[in-house]
Structure 1
Amino acid sequence: MAVSEGRAALHAFCALGTTIKQAGSQEKFRQIDQTFVLDFGKLCLRLGAKTFSYVSALGADHRSKVFYNRIKGETEAKLKELGFPHLLLHRPSLLLGDRDEFRFGESLAMYAMLPLKWLRIGDSFRGIEASKVARGMLIHAFEKRPASFKIIVSREMHQFTP
């Protein structure tokens, strides 16, 4: 909770998400990444949240042929329909950090993206530490005049150091 102009302002942050493999099916994935996120958003709105910050994904698009990106895009669109005064959608690329399980595809992508970091190009596509995403969420939510709707991509989040 933040205090501004003598009033308490409620900010909600949501980083709930899984993988299809962890969920076990596309149906369960949709339940976790969409239904649970939207239920949390509705609860936050009822409790008076003015700002909702959501970790989505690079490539989120409700028209995507890729299931994962389509669900993320649908979730963003439905969050927008809820009517938060301030909705901040954070679209990181590959999230970096400690994991409980080994993810071969992510490990391969992480190594493939290393030259982008060395060359200082491709900030929108190279992996990003979860701590930078979290810091970006806080910074954008607590701006003096937060945007009513904003999409924040990895390129913008890379500037935040933990």
Structure 2
Amino acid sequence: MNDKTAIVIGATGLVGSEVLNLLLEDERYSKVHVFHRRTTGQSHPKLEEHIVNFSQIDEWKHLIKGDELYSALGTTIKKAGGQERQYTIDYTYQYETAKAAAGNGAQKFALVSSLGANPESRAFYPRLKGELDEAVQELPFEVISILRPSILEGNRQESRPLEQLGILFTKVITKFPGLSNYRPIPAKTVARALIYSLNKCTPGTHIFEGEDIFHLS
């Protein structure tokens, strides 16, 4: 199929921006609909931007129409201002958008999760991600692809010095046997893997973790 419509949320983020750029270059897609709270600043014949309020999805969910949904929305607890707000952005907004897309006929769904996602975790962030991973698998998509990357590499808009230290540290420790899943991964590699998975995976749910994402891309 070479006349597909893709939907993207989180298109100004580290992975989402790479997904958007790749989709705009991909001849298999004739339209790319982006839903976000601010413009991407891009102009392209394929691109249709929708500036929305995610907390009022009932007002615009009828617009979430396409063949595939790419969900890369997310924030940090510091940027969000607390756990409750981060949960709203990382879980509620993504789940409600996916639910609306499925209800409007989208057949395929790709989600950026996180290595260690586990709904039973005692730690807030991996529990949040695990709960979302579990919830979206109940939605009626033909194909669901969930990617759980390790720490992401790329050019962020904001400075994260502790994250940069973490990247350097993990690059050292992942040279030891059994730790390759924790190798830092470029955001563009994750983006490529997301798109590849929805174009190549068979019907059902597919979960890719850490090192598997490098091979998938």
* TM exceeding 0.5: yes
Maintained 8 Å contact 1:56/1:76: yes
Contact 1:12 1:52 in 2 (8 A): yes
User: Distance in 1 between the 2:125 and 2:176 partners?
Assistant: 29
Secondary structure in 2 matching 1:62: coil
1:77 to 134, 141, 162: 134
Which residue pairs with 1:37 in the alignment? 94
Q: 1:113 matched to which residue of 2? A: 170
1:18 aligns with 2:18: no
- Could you tell me which of 98, 106, 113 is aligned with 1:56? 113
TM-score where L is the length of structure 1: 0.86
Distance 2:2 2:125 in 1: 33
TM-score, normalisation: structure 2: 0.66
Alignment of 1:113-132 (within 5 A): 113-116=170-173, 122-132=179-189
Q: Is the 8 A contact 1:14 1:55 kept in 2?
A: yes
Distance 1:63 1:119, change over 3 A: closer
Task: Find out whether 1:141 has 2:198 as its counterpart.
Answer: yes
Query: CA–CA distance in 2 between the matches of 1:40 and 1:148?
Result: 20
Q: 1:151 to 1:94 in 2, by over 3 A?
A: same
C-alpha contact (below 8 Å) 2:174/2:182 kept by paired residues:
no
Conservation of the 8 A alpha-carbon contact between 1:2 and 1:10: no
Once the two structures are TM-superposed, the CA of residue 147 in structure 1 deviates from its matched residue by 4.1
Distance 2:108 2:216 in 1: 20
Deviations 1:25-67 (A, max 9, x none): 1010000000000111012102211111000000100000110
Listed as ranges, the matches of 1:145-156 within 5 Å are 145-156=201-212
**Structure 2 CA distance, aligned partners of 1:60 and 1:24?**
21
What is the one-letter code of the residue matched to 1:103?
R
Letter in 2 for 1:77: E
Q: Distance in 1 between matches of 2:93 and 2:127?
A: 16
For structure 2, list consecutive stretches of 5 or more residues without a partner in the other structure.
Answer: 5-65
Structure 1 residues 160, 86: CA separation in 2 closer, same or farther (over 3 Å shift)? closer
Match of 1:159 in 2: 215
Structure 1, unmatched stretches of 5+, are none
Question: Is the 2:197–2:216 contact (alpha carbons within 8 Å) kept by the matching residues of 1?
Answer: no
How large is the Cα RMSD of the aligned pairs? 2.2
- Identical-pair percentage: 33
Q: Choose from 135, 147, 153 the match for 1:90.
A: 147
